[in-house]
């Protein structure tokens, strides 16, 4: 980022606010994130565009306005009024279609976020020009519990690796800290990462296809997801109880701790190392997932490799046994 340390508190707050707003507009999900002094990490899920997806002009305008702010709205509103006065409804429809085309796209989301933040920062710092060095680096992560959990905890432990805090919950600008503070989008991201599904509910609402989840059940599920995630980060201790069995401090049972360790297969010590595979590995997941991606995207390799490479998956090292990636990188 401009080879300078630019992200102070105000910049981090502004970036996080814009990140959430543009994610809502582009219909992508921020599962977790971490904003450091001169770079950031985002774990984004990009849903498939639903068949027949459409929004009215008013809906698109409202969402875009929420992302870019009132100053943009005033200028565009005037432009739209000129279009209407001139009978140029086609120009308005063209804008709506163009904006719809930007949704469900990681590249469009990142482009809009970086451009908007650059504009904000340049005004604030009285500077001009680009802020970011080249294109962002992206890694495709398998939408599977073990891969998501490993990548997300690696991201949230960035401030711990940097020696800023001992507990990522004490670092305001990461997804885990936001979730612990009760921010809805952040909690939903942790729930998605841990795979915490709705509890079974007896009975159905009239006309509903699936059982409804009560507010209490939803809160309990979210709490379980946060406790599980804290254990995955390596900082959840055992629950502490009084002699009469009353819970003094929430934690994770020995049985659940053992299951999570077996499922995740990644230790806190591993996650506190810098692992370049997570930023340069291109594709991360199971062997089958990486091999399948290669078969569908051989042209990405270029040269003789596109034709001659037999398999896609490359092991990170033995300690990351369940995770493989596309590139053979040395630690």
Q: Tell which residue, 260, 250, 263, 261, has the closest CA to residue 224.
A: 250
Q: How many domains, in total, are found in the chain?
A: 4
39-61: per-residue pLDDT in tens?
899 999 999 999 999 999 889 98
- Tokens, residue 162: 């940097």
In a domain, 201, yes or no: no
In Å, what is the CA distance from 147 to each residue of 35, 235, 321? 21, 19, 11
In a domain, 2, yes or no: no
- Each residue's pLDDT expressed in tens, for the chain with a length of 331 residues: 555 657 889 999 999 999 999 999 999 999 999 999 888 999 999 999 999 999 998 899 888 888 887 766 666 777 777 877 777 788 888 889 999 999 999 999 999 999 899 888 888 888 888 877 667 788 999 888 888 999 999 999 999 998 998 888 889 999 999 998 889 999 999 999 998 765 554 444 445 565 577 888 888 888 888 888 888 888 754 445 556 655 555 555 566 556 656 666 677 777 777 887 788 778 888 888 888 888 888 777 776 666 777 777 888 877 777 788 887 776 5
For residue 284, what are the β-bridge partners?
141, 325
Q: Tell which residue, 154, 155, 150, has the closest CA to residue 324.
A: 150
pTM metric for this prediction = 0.81
Element (H, E) at 44: strand 40-45
Q: Which residues contact 307 (CB under 8 A, 6 or more apart)?
A: 298
Boundaries of domain holding 115: 9-51+105-138
Whether 155 and 65 map to the same domain: the answer is no
How does DSSP classify residue 197?
P
Whether 159 and 235 map to the same domain: the answer is yes
Whether 232 and 320 map to the same domain: the answer is no
| Distance of alpha carbon 261 from alpha carbon 33, whole angstroms | 23
Whether 158 and 230 map to the same domain: the answer is yes
Whether 164 and 267 map to the same domain: the answer is yes
Q: Contacts by 65-74 with C-beta closer than 8 Å and gap 24+? A: 66/21, 66/24, 66/25, 67/18, 67/21, 67/22, 67/24, 67/25, 67/112, 67/116, 68/116
In a domain, 267, yes or no: yes
Q: What is the DSSP string of 164-190?
A: S-SSGGG-TTBHHHHHHTT-HHHHHHH
Whether 128 and 243 map to the same domain: the answer is no
How does DSSP classify residue 298?
G
In a domain, 134, yes or no: yes
In a domain, 91, yes or no: yes
| Domain endpoint, select from 271, 295, 311 | 271
Element (H, E) at 22: helix 9-26
For residue 44, what are the β-bridge partners?
30
Whether 77 and 180 map to the same domain: the answer is no
Whether 191 and 116 map to the same domain: the answer is no
189-218: per-residue pLDDT in tens?
999 999 876 555 444 444 556 557 788 888
Whether 180 and 244 map to the same domain: the answer is yes
**CB of 140 within 8 A of CB of 283?**
yes
In Å, what is the CA distance from 80 to each residue of 55, 56, 62, 254? 17, 15, 14, 62
In a domain, 295, yes or no: yes
Q: What is the DSSP string of 50-106?
A: PTT----HHHHHHHHHHHH-HHHHHHHHHHHHHHHHTT-HHHHHHHHHHHHHTTT-H
Whether 153 and 258 map to the same domain: the answer is yes
Whether 171 and 287 map to the same domain: the answer is no
Whether 233 and 316 map to the same domain: the answer is no
| Domain endpoint, select from 271, 292, 317 | 271
Radius of gyration of the chain from its Cα atoms, rounded to whole angstroms: 23
Task: Determine if residue 252 is left, alpha or beta; phi over 0 gives left, psi from -120 to 50 gives alpha, anything else beta.
Answer: beta
In a domain, 241, yes or no: yes
In a domain, 202, yes or no: no
């Amino acid at each position: 980022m401009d080879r300078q340390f630019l992200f102070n508190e105000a910049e981090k707050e502004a970036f996080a606010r814009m990140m959430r707003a543009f994610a809502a507009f582009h219909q992508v999900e921020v599962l977790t994130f971490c904003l450091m002094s001169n770079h950031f990490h985002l774990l984004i899920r990009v849903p498939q565009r639903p068949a027949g997806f459409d929004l009215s002009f008013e809906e698109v305008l409202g969402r875009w306005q929420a992302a870019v702010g009132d100053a943009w709205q005033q200028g565009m509103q005037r432009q739209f009024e000129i279009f209407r006065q001139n009978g140029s409804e086609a120009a308005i429809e063209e804008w709506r279609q163009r904006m719809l085309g930007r949704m469900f796209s990681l590249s469009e989301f990142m482009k809009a976020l970086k451009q908007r933040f650059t504009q904000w920062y340049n005004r604030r710092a009285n500077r001009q020009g680009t802020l970011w060095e080249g294109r962002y680096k992206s890694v495709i992560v398998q939408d599977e519990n073990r891969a998501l959990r490993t990548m997300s905890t690696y991201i949230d432990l960035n401030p711990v690796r940097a020696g800023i805090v001992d507990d990522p919950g004490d670092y305001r600008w990461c997804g885990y800290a936001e979730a612990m503070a009760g921010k809805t989008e952040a909690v939903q991201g942790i729930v998605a990462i841990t795979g915490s599904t709705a509890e079974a509910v007896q009975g159905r609402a009239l006309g509903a296809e699936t059982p409804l989840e009560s507010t209490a059940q939803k809160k309990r599920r979210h709490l379980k997801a946060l406790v599980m995630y804290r254990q995955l980060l390596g900082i959840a201790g055992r629950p502490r109880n009084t002699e009469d069995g009353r819970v003094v401090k929430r934690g994770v049972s020995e049985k659940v701790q053992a299951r999570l360790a077996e499922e995740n297969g990644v230790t806190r010590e591993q996650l506190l190392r810098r692992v370049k595979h997570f930023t340069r590995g291109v594709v991360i997941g199971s062997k089958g997932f990486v091999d399948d991606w290669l078969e569908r995207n051989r042209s990405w390799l270029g040269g003789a490799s596109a034709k001659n490479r037999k398999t896609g998956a490359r092991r990170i090292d033995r300690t990351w046994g369940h995770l493989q990636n596309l590139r053979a990188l040395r630690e």
